[in-house]
Structure 1
Amino acid sequence: MKSKIIVLALLFGSQINIANAGLAATTVHSRANCINNESITWWLGHSYDWRVVSTHTNIYGGGHLIDTGYAVTWRQAAVHWNEAPLNDHRWVVSGYHYLSDYGNGRIPFDTTSVGDCSIYNGWWDY
């Protein structure tokens, strides 16, 4: 019985961490090969002057970037809709997350780089 309680407590605790993503602090993440390729910065209910630059490179040497420019918002997303079939494994996405007040807006306050559809990147860091 005691081991069941411990397991349930651990599972419940991990769910709380998931729920904190973007609610307790700024969250940054990128995803690749997930139908969309994307890099996103957000904090629900807290608007900042954010910019996201997302580079999308494929295994054949092609690629491009999406630059959102600066905007005061609670969620800034650089997304290429329908660029990569789910689990395609051809794309690598790197996100550069900027805040206008950090480094005079010229250097990112955080970076992300992924080659898969995992939403982990950045979600449980706070």
Structure 2
Amino acid sequence: MKGIVFLVSSVFLMSSVSAGMTALTHTSRANCINNESVSWQYNVPKTMFVSSKHKFNINGSLHTISSGGYVTNWRVAGIHWSEGGPVAPIPPVWTVYGTHLIKVGTRITQISSYATNCSVFDGWW
């Protein structure tokens, strides 16, 4: 029985730990030391733009951090370093809304992401 639990746990961990290693992924994190939105696929450069809107839930104030324009790289992000404060406060102090634009030739695809927590596995591993 312990072997089966270990095997199932290992398969789950391996599948969740490889998100950006095998495909383009887009995610946001909030209340996690940094507040951020990131698009990435390891070692596969793409032309992308990321905008990350941060809402301070205590007073409703908003501000936006972005990648500064389209960037061709394997990882593009809008990060506000050290803004997230303590990890996973209850209730969440910050909400993060991400806008991810991927440009291929003249075609632009938009993906949205949203976070109120510090999920390390949601799109990161």
Indicate the TM-score class for this superposition, using the shorter chain for normalisation.
0.7 to 0.9
The 1-side partners of 2:112 and 2:105 are apart by: 13
Equivalent residue runs for 1:36-115 within 5 Å: 36-59=34-57, 60-68=59-67, 69-86=69-86, 87-88=88-89, 89-101=92-104, 104-105=107-108, 108=110, 110-115=111-116
**Worse-matched range after superposition: 9-18 or 48-57:** 9-18
Match of 1:119 in 2: 120
Q: Helix, strand or coil: the match of 1:117?
A: coil
Instruction: Note if contact 1:30-1:119 (Cα within 8 Å) is conserved in structure 2.
Output: no
State how many pairs are aligned: 120
**Worse-matched range after superposition: 31-40 or 60-69:** 60-69
Q: TM-score, normalised by structure 1?
A: 0.85
Match of 1:7 in 2: 5
Q: Helix, strand or coil: the match of 1:22?
A: helix
Contiguous gaps of at least 5 residues in structure 2 = none
One-letter identity of the residue aligned with 1:111: S
- The structure where strand makes up a greater share of residues is 2
Shift of 1:116: 1.2
Instruction: Note if contact 1:58-1:90 (Cα within 8 Å) is conserved in structure 2.
Output: yes
Match of 1:20 in 2: 18
Deviations 1:6-57 (A, max 9, x none): 1111011012113312111011111111111000010001000011010001
The 1-side partners of 2:3 and 2:73 are apart by: 42
Shift of 1:67: 2.0
Match of 1:29 in 2: 27
The 1-side partners of 2:22 and 2:3 are apart by: 27
